[in-house]
Chain A
Amino acid sequence: ETGVTQTPRHLVMGMTNKKSLKCEQHLGHNAMYWYKQSAKKPLELMFVYSLEERVENNSVPSRFSPECPNSSHLFLHLHTLQPEDSALYLCASSQGEGAEQFFGPGTRLTVL
């Protein structure tokens, strides 16, 4: 595997379900990010982890819970989501803050 991978690629869940998104980067980077991309809207940054420490949380509802167990892996735990949370969730990584970020293919999430 190369670059940034994300699983699953597609996820359909009910509002009462609990699920997790997984991201893995094979680039040796030290920063990882979660973004949300909704139709017709710019990418929205959700969380930033630098050296495995969360350094940014852009007013994201608590029903989204990130976890970064090491510099290569990033999770987004989901629970009691709302239909408006349906979107493409993107993971990215970079070497250093402010550097170009490399994105995974995304997880298309649908909340029923």
Chain B
Amino acid sequence: EDQVTQSPEALRLQEGESSSLNCSYTVSGLRGLFWYRQDPGKGPEFLFTLYSAGEEKEKERLKATLTKKESFLHITAPKPEDSATYLCAVPSGSARQLTFGSGTQLTVLP
């Protein structure tokens, strides 16, 4: 059974304090890994797609990387507006569905 595990569950950072979020996965044949940001009471917002080990994507203060077993979302010099829950997901089963992790709730304090 495909599984996606995210850690930590919650992370509190001071503004400017860089850190990384982890997404480890167990799938039979990776067909991509997606990162999303979700603000309270809203739908997830698509951030990145990674397809192969070694691939990296960047957007503002966020950089996503991928290995054969896990993905990291690196946050450099975060700001309070980066506070959100970050989700990762992989296509699974028939690839008609995504298996989501439980998310990391990030809080950036001013």
Expressed in whole angstroms, the Cα–Cα distance for A41 and B32 within the complex equals 22
Q: Is A43 an interface residue (CB 8 A)?
A: yes
One of B34, B97, B102 near A100 (C-beta < 8 A): B34
Q: Flag the segment in B15-23, B38-46, B61-69, B75-83 that touches A.
A: B38-46
One of A6, A45, A103, A108 near B97 (C-beta < 8 A): A45
Expressed in whole angstroms, the Cα–Cα distance for A31 and B44 within the complex equals 17
Q: Are B41 and A56 in contact (CB under 8 A)?
A: no
Expressed in whole angstroms, the Cα–Cα distance for A84 and B34 within the complex equals 29
Q: Are B31 and A98 in contact (CB under 8 A)?
A: yes
Q: Are B44 and A103 in contact (CB under 8 A)?
A: yes
Point out the residues of chain B lying under 8 angstroms from A76, CB to CB: none
Which residues from chain B sit less than 8 Å from chain A, CB to CB? 31-32, 34, 36, 41-46, 49, 87, 89, 91, 94-98, 100-103
Q: 10 A-B Cβ contacts within 8 A?
A: A31-B96, A33-B97, A45-B98, A90-B44, A97-B96, A103-B36, A103-B43, A104-B43, A106-B43, A108-B41
